[in-house]
Structure 1
Amino acid sequence: MCLILIVEDEQRVVAFVDKGLRRNGFRTRVAIDGEQALQELRSQPFDLIILDLGLPKVDGWAILQELQRLGNQGPVIVVTAEIDVRDAVLQTGAHDYLAKPFRFQDLLTSIQAALSL
């Protein structure tokens, strides 16, 4: 069973994604800010990371840089309200980018594609 880290500071988005993933058979962990995300990433490997860019304490861009440094982490799907960052996000090595608001089915499709690599 895949373990997914959800890095998101908006509680409604966390609840929406977490509930949907669990219903689809995934195990999840949640980090509500960048510092907590980095602690989680250093403590255990994840099969996939769902990452918001606009986080308190440490932003998602810094987390993407740290993931590159750590290496050997699962694919990253960036979900953000920031516009015009798709190319920059994909250049960091992220697997996919979804603009908020997004449909859960679109996220699930992206996750399935990322995990089939």
Structure 2
Amino acid sequence: MTGPLRGTPPALDREFHHPTRLALAAYLSACGEAEFAVLRDYCQVSDSTLSKTLSALEKTGYVSIRKGYLGKRPRTWAALTLTGRRALARHLAALEEIAATARRAAGAGAEDTGAV
């Protein structure tokens, strides 16, 4: 292949391909830990969907889950692990690289056609 797309493709993380997983990891990256209901409302998903999403990210080691009580009510909290933070940073860097490549390609295409 020639042109601006030549070379090794950026290393996107398959665990963050689903928008809910990416949104969840991004939210958790900005805080130490968050309660299940807060995450559910932020991601605008059902309890079931959030539970499955958290379980999938926990299996990869990207999220840790803590269960406990607030008064007499059971609660679940989630936190992004160091592994998850590093994986998210790599994924975001890969997305930025893809966007930069697209911008360069669009700029090169505009120069080739005489458009500015």
Q: What TM-score comes out, normalization by structure 1 length?
A: 0.26
Q: Which has the higher contact order (CA 8 A, sep 6+)?
A: 2
Higher strand proportion: 1
Larger radius of gyration: 2
Higher helix proportion: 2
